[in-house]
Structure 1
Amino acid sequence: MLHTRLLRSLLGAATLLIAGAAATAPATAAAPTPGGTLTTIIQPEPVILTSALNTAAPTGFFSANVFDGLVEYDNDFKLKPALAERWEFSKDGKTLTFYLRRGVKWHDGKPFTSADVKWTLENVWKKIHPRNQILYGKVTSTDTPDDYTVVIHFSEPSLAVLSSLNSNGAQVLPKHLYEGTDILNNPYNNKPIGTGPFVFKEWSRGNYITLERNPEYWDKGKPYLDKIVFKVVPDAGARAAALEKGEAQYAPFSPVPLKDAERLAKLPSLKLETRGYEWLSPWLFVDINLDRPYFKDLRVRQALAYAIDRNAFNKVVWYGFGKPADSPVVSTLKQFHTSDVPQYGFDPKKAEALLDEAGLKRGADGTRLKINLDYLPYGDDFKRSGEFIRNSLKRVGIEVNVRAQDTPTYTKRVYGDRDYDLSVVWFAGFADPLVGVTRAYWSDSVGKNIPWSNGSGYRSAEADKLISQAQGSASQSERIALFKKLQQQVQTDLPSLPLLEMHFFTVQSSNLKDAVAGVDQVYGSLKNAWFDSGAKVAANPAAPQR
């Protein structure tokens, strides 16, 4: 178990209010020193390298270094210019205009223009992106009066758009390489051409992905690093060893066994960082496949909820790196979150009674039902989550077979074939529920093989109505009320079981400076990062020889 002082330091930034100011990084006294290779750990290996088409965490972590967003976010959630130098909403909230940066080039030398934004919005954000389908669902037309102006017209206001305009939320693809192609199978998905600070060089599957400095980047003087190597290290113990030995200098998303965090934090060569996750608002939950006959009965879904001790789950599986969740909207999103929803405290006796009422009696061997559980293959913590749930449900007579697989098999099984009973997964809720939460409940995405969308198969006319109203309301107070009603609705219908508000941390070398530049850093680029020349840069044998 982690030392109390360490635990507090790790969780400090994660408990900041999303509506408040995040901790601002102290100013660096020394001027950035250019040069050097950063080896970072990426786990699991991405399925695809373009987050415009897949919003999985590994893809987002990598992809922001190759692509820019229309804006960036600083440490206080304020918007900063990126591909868009400025922007403005009309008074009625129905027209959003972007004025793009001039002179930006794609990595193949072609100019970046408004045509790229228009094409991506109409063909990717509205049709494929699991979050942006809702955000841009009310777009009626997009005008490009010139190469550097994009005018988006909405049938109703879309206030949430500005909360997701970074590279992860609004990644722009090059029209000249995608137009007229099979977008999901375009070869540039895995050898990406972006406008960002680093240029893609090589993907040795199962080993590493290499990026090199973009010498023509629009943000002059940046990036400082010459190269980034994203090294695939599946074993958690090996990740800890690589960081300790200096073979890797940066690893996000709680990369080491939680029990090892205290030991690593004491090493002078390493530090643990909690900033850079505030934008995510992550929560972990269990999706229930509502197409299964036995899960169509609400009493069975309620029994699942009562059978799981969320407090013990947080302590035993996640070592306290979280907070038991009572809603899909995490409590740090104070203006949107509500606890005024049906609650399902740990009560195995109530779970057993509900299963009896539903006709799922214990058999001679004590078993009521046999099901499969698939967990997100992102490491041992998720495996142990599945095992904890298996043990919890066994106590009430439900036998659970925990299945392991790679990420492509998992996403196809859950979001495409729907060949599962329960799945353990985490989503980022982001700064507005319309961006990250509603995708888990919107019926339009069911069965379309869109990862990180509605995996439960939940279809509710009332929930869809609330989502649509929140999407089109010009009143923030009205949107807040609608999202609270949505929480009440989904926690009554219970298509999924929120278990944990997640608290992530990053392990990095002490001499790596300015690696956190905003509240969305884990989904932002490392263009500001540099190695302190006054300290010895760790050896980097993990980097491939070229």
Structure 2
Amino acid sequence: MKLKLFTLFVVLGIVLSACSGGGTAEGTEPAVGGGGGGTVVLILPEEPTTLNFYLADAAIVRQVADATSMTGLVTIDETGNFVPMLADGMPAISDDYLTVTWKLKEGLKWSDGEPLTSDDIRFTIEVLSNPNSGALVGTSGFDLITNVETPDDLTAILTYSEPYPGYLDQFAYGLFPRHATGAPEEMAGWEWNRAPVTAGPFVLSNWESGKSITLNRNPNYFEEGKPYLDSIVFEIVPEPAAQTAMMLNGEAQFHLWPSEFEEDYNELLKGKARQYLIPGIWNMAIDFNLSAPFDGDPGPDAPHPILGDIRVRQAIAHAINYESLQQDVLQGSVGDSTNPFAYGWYKCDLPHKYGYDVEAANKLLDEAGWVMGEDGIRVAQGAMYAEDGTRLSLELQGYTAFDPLQLTEEFIVENLKAVGIEARIQNYDFSIIFGTFEDNSPRMVGDYDMLIFDRGFTTEPQGYNFDAYHSSRIPSAENPTGGNYFRWVNEDVDKALELAGSSFDIETRKQAYCEIGQAVIDDLPQVYLYLFQDGYGIADNLEGYVLNTWGSMSWGVQNWKYKQGQ
């Protein structure tokens, strides 16, 4: 709490300085009389690297892309249901689940005025089924589409090689315009990625790197009379106190992930804005690297000298005081979580197997050949993989500019120190932690010990979890976009993922996912810490927004407007 109170004093100092300089930022005045028009400023803690969702290296990409390039055939509403967007109703599916027919709304146009047709659906499939496209997310199931027929400009008939229950989710994140992009295998280098021709409510006007991203109303947007606003501006403001000061000064209207806890925030901004909390889709976990780091081989064969022994991973899990982390450090702003299936129809209520137990942690480390050293840090003496004399010292990697993560890291360090494990915090910018294999991002090439970050999920769990846990998705030079950063190989998990990805029976799928969740708890390729609630600070004079667990801060932005008279 002392840290939070200090932050509030810093905010007040910034506000007083800003007030002496003259009030509202230029170009952000709300529309006089309310309703249509005007500009809304949204605060981002980090700058996205792209506006192409399929190249998203961090959650921050979607915060902007939802307002421009991510308008798909369907979207996921606040109830978790798929609803049509560009599609003229929900698609028809054959009795054998192998043929899906999509119909587009009539008269659709891209933001440059060109017609949006079924050929753009075909092109999107060509891109996302191409193994050389460079796509990092959202490609699951596209390789199962064996044929695409476009009998007219409004109809696309897709044939799958096997039933794929994620057929709706595949088309919820935007289409690519064939005429304004490039070759499928060159997607990672498209100019479109930072200046997309779009079917969404807003289109890029200006991107001033490190400062702001400005989007203007798309004159060809398909919902008549929308968007209501003239423009939206994403201001990139890494410093939490400066973010809150902007809201207090009226320089911004929408604040992503305020660092202050809800009660403190609402007290400070009373009469101007308030913070809203909704169930999040982000699970915070510590990922363990199960393979040897810094050996020039990203593969899973050589075990990690310390973490390759499951008893060490079990001891780490036992050493963490989850309740204190959730309730004391983060003041109840998060929920408990034990596995990747934390929300939605596939939620798995699985208890901690290795809950907080310092005595058990010490016993496991003793048994694993790690003896307490004179300085309070254990050293190897007969350990499974580590040479005698090796210190039980591990690097804990994370990313910058996110207070809850930094508080969590500091707490974990103290917890592990209590059982003789040294954890060294090493935080990187988003662009490094979430970088590519070609850029030598530590998690991609396997050069890390422990990595703490938040993993997201959607109403359709197959794509993301297949990418994270299937052994075929271990990153390598031949498979540079894989998401199994743990280098975890479990044949039963592979089979469960394959079953869940081919069945249309909800109970069969849920059982398979819960088997995977239990395997994560048993094998400990990672240990889950808590489930985020998403926090948004929103100005009192803004209306029309719907907070959507399955979306982002800019989901539904076409409906936003200023209140009448404000």
- TM-score, normalised via structure 1 length: 0.85
Instruction: Measure, in 2, the Cα distance between the counterparts of 1:78 and 1:342.
Output: 30
Larger Rg belongs to: 2
Alpha-carbon contact 1:329-1:437 (below 8 Å) kept = no
Q: 1:533 to 1:217 in 2, by over 3 A?
A: same
The residue aligned with 1:238 is 242
The residue aligned with 2:383 is none
Aligned-residue Cα RMSD (Å) equals: 2.5
Alpha-carbon contact 1:69-1:83 (below 8 Å) kept = yes
* Amino acid of the structure 2 residue aligned with 1:247: E
Structure 1 residue runs without a partner (length 5+): 3-30, 536-546
Alpha-carbon contact 2:111-2:219 (below 8 Å) kept = no
Per-residue CA distance 1:503-522 (angstroms, 9 max, x = gap): 11211111111111755342
The residue aligned with 2:220 is 216
Matching of residue 227 in structure 1 with residue 231 in structure 2: yes
The residue aligned with 2:110 is 106
Structure 1 stretch 263-272 or stretch 357-366: which is displaced more? 263-272
The residue aligned with 1:140 is 146
Q: 1:399 to 1:75 in 2, by over 3 A?
A: closer
Matching of residue 498 in structure 1 with residue 494 in structure 2: no
Matching of residue 337 in structure 1 with residue 365 in structure 2: no
The residue aligned with 1:393 is 416
Q: 1:248 to 1:529 in 2, by over 3 A?
A: same
Per-residue CA distance 1:210-258 (angstroms, 9 max, x = gap): 0011112111100010011100010111111111111110023x22322
Per-residue CA distance 1:21-52 (angstroms, 9 max, x = gap): xxxxxxxxxx9711001001012111222112
1:99 positional shift: 0.6
Instruction: Measure, in 2, the Cα distance between the counterparts of 1:126 and 1:326.
Output: 35
* Amino acid of the structure 1 residue aligned with 2:326: N
* Aligned equivalent of 2:199, options 195, 201, 204: 195
The residue aligned with 2:75 is 72
Instruction: Measure, in 2, the Cα distance between the counterparts of 1:363 and 1:269.
Output: 55
Instruction: Measure, in 2, the Cα distance between the counterparts of 1:362 and 1:123.
Output: 54
Instruction: Measure, in 2, the Cα distance between the counterparts of 1:218 and 1:154.
Output: 30
Percent identical = 30
Alpha-carbon contact 2:474-2:482 (below 8 Å) kept = no
Instruction: Measure, in 2, the Cα distance between the counterparts of 1:428 and 1:58.
Output: 12
The residue aligned with 1:370 is 393
Alpha-carbon contact 1:74-1:517 (below 8 Å) kept = no
The residue aligned with 1:282 is 282
Aligned residues: 498
Per-residue CA distance 1:373-397 (angstroms, 9 max, x = gap): 1113351211222211111111111
Alpha-carbon contact 1:126-1:134 (below 8 Å) kept = no
* Aligned equivalent of 1:471, options 501, 510, 522: 501
* Aligned equivalent of 2:444, options 412, 416, 423: 416
Secondary structure of the 1:354 match is helix
Q: 1:297 to 1:123 in 2, by over 3 A?
A: same
1:104 positional shift: 2.0
Per-residue CA distance 1:428-467 (angstroms, 9 max, x = gap): 2222332444432122332258679322121222211110
The residue aligned with 1:538 is none
Instruction: Measure, in 1, the Cα distance between the counterparts of 2:548 and 2:433.
Output: 31
Instruction: Measure, in 1, the Cα distance between the counterparts of 2:541 and 2:135.
Output: 37
Structure 2 residue runs without a partner (length 5+): 3-32, 292-303, 379-391, 436-440
Q: 1:485 to 1:130 in 2, by over 3 A?
A: farther
The residue aligned with 1:308 is 320
Instruction: Measure, in 2, the Cα distance between the counterparts of 1:451 and 1:526.
Output: 31
Alpha-carbon contact 1:141-1:154 (below 8 Å) kept = yes
Matching of residue 326 in structure 1 with residue 338 in structure 2: yes
Instruction: Measure, in 1, the Cα distance between the counterparts of 2:345 and 2:357.
Output: 28
Per-residue CA distance 1:353-381 (angstroms, 9 max, x = gap): 11222222223323221111111335121
Alpha-carbon contact 2:139-2:170 (below 8 Å) kept = no
Alpha-carbon contact 2:248-2:269 (below 8 Å) kept = no
1:334 positional shift: 5.5
The residue aligned with 1:37 is 39
* Aligned equivalent of 1:457, options 459, 469, 487: 487
The residue aligned with 1:346 is 356
* Amino acid of the structure 2 residue aligned with 1:317: V
1:260 positional shift: 6.5
The residue aligned with 1:405 is 428
Q: 1:344 to 1:506 in 2, by over 3 A?
A: same
Alpha-carbon contact 1:118-1:150 (below 8 Å) kept = yes
- TM-score, normalised via structure 2 length: 0.82
Instruction: Measure, in 2, the Cα distance between the counterparts of 1:241 and 1:312.
Output: 30
Secondary structure of the 1:59 match is helix
The residue aligned with 2:329 is 317
* Aligned equivalent of 2:87, options 80, 84, 89: 84
Q: 1:281 to 1:435 in 2, by over 3 A?
A: farther
Alpha-carbon contact 1:415-1:450 (below 8 Å) kept = no
The residue aligned with 1:527 is 558
